[in-house]
Structures are given as C-alpha cells and as structure tokens.
Amino acid sequence: MARDAVWAVITGMYDAYTRGDREGIDRRLHPDATIFDSAHPDLITTRDQLNKVRDARPEEGQVTLSAYDEVVDVWGETALARYVLRVAFAPGAAEIVRTTSVLRRVDGEWLIVHVHENSL
C-alpha cells in the first residue's frame, strides 16, 4: 500500500539519523529537497546548506527520534504526511516537533521533496 511505503520512507529517515547514517538519510531525500528545520530559521534549498545545518547539530546517532500520530494521504505520485516528532537529546529532555513532509514517487521510489518542522 502506498501509504505504508510513504511512512516507511519517513521513519527510515529518522532511523538512519539515530544510527548516524547520513547516507541513509540522503537516500530518502530528493536531490532538490527543501527543508524548514526546527532549529534553523531559513529555508534550506541545497544539500550544502543542509550539511552546514547538520554540522551544527548534536552528532547524528546521539539523538533519539520518534515519529507518531501520522496522517498520510497519497494522490497518485504525490504524498503528504503530517506527524509529531519527539526529539530526545538526553534522558528526560525532549522536544516535540510538528512536522509536514511532501513526497513524490520518482521512478517508482518515494522521495521526500519538502519537510516543514515547527517546534512546540
């Protein structure tokens, strides 16, 4: 089912982040993906910009991410996922981020083309 495939891309991206697997994250992002990161004020429009934001974060693999309460809609080759992301930096310290992701099916594979995060 397309909905499950879309959700697997999103949760797979966060699993890759938790493992410190930057390539695993990038495989799920369209090369032209744009991102409003909850910790960065400007729209990220290039991979170089994304890498600069990444390099300023706590190291990948040292943060636990849990996505839940998802609502996923699929219309042909386009999907929209809305969900809550729990970001835990240390035991007992967590941030809740409302997130919307847009995906496109490219050559049969779902890729994230936009992510918009909003911290509570």
CATH number where 95 lies: 3.10.450.50
At residue 68, the 3 state secondary structure works out as strand
Report the domain count for the chain.
Answer: 1
Q: Is the pLDDT of residue 15 over 70?
A: yes
Averaged confidence pLDDT in the chain: 93
Q: Is the pLDDT of residue 58 over 70?
A: no
Please choose, from the candidates 10, 38, 42, the residue with its C-alpha nearest in 3D space to the C-alpha of residue 97: 38
Q: Is the pLDDT of residue 10 over 90?
A: yes
Averaged pLDDT for residues 5-22 = 95
Domain span at 44: 2-119
Q: In percent, how much of the chain has pLDDT > 90?
A: 78
Averaged pLDDT for residues 22-45 = 96
